[in-house]
Amino acid sequence: MLKDIIEVTARPQHKLFLRFEDGVTGEVDVAKISNFAGVFASLRDELRFAEVIVNKELGTVQWPSGADLDPDVLYAMVSGKQVKVAA
């Protein structure tokens, strides 16, 4: 699928507003896809969660801790389209 994220805004309760390069926009509840363990542990704190940025090289969201999320999974969640898995 490979749709890059071009904009991210942190919202309350561990949600992200996302805009993709093709114009698709929507909100993702990160708490539904992360248990906030390991590299994601610091993101339990909403102030740390709000430090999210777009990593333009990877085309996805990233935090200072190094945590990032798969843009294909996020696109599928926002658009309702399934992620194609390589065989």
C-alpha–C-alpha distance, residues 70 and 58, integer Å: 9
Indicate if the pLDDT at residue 43 is higher than 90. Answer: yes
- pTM surpassing 0.75? yes
| Side-chain-facing half-sphere of 12: CA atoms under 13 Å | 0
| Contact present, 34 and 43 (Cβ < 8 Å) | yes
Domain layout of the chain by residue ranges:
5-79
For the domain bounded by 5-79, which CATH number is listed? 3.30.2020.10
Task: Identify the pLDDT of residue 82.
Answer: 76
What pLDDT, on a 0 to 100 scale, did the predictor assign at position 81? 83
Q: Are 18 and 7 in contact (CB under 8 A)?
A: yes
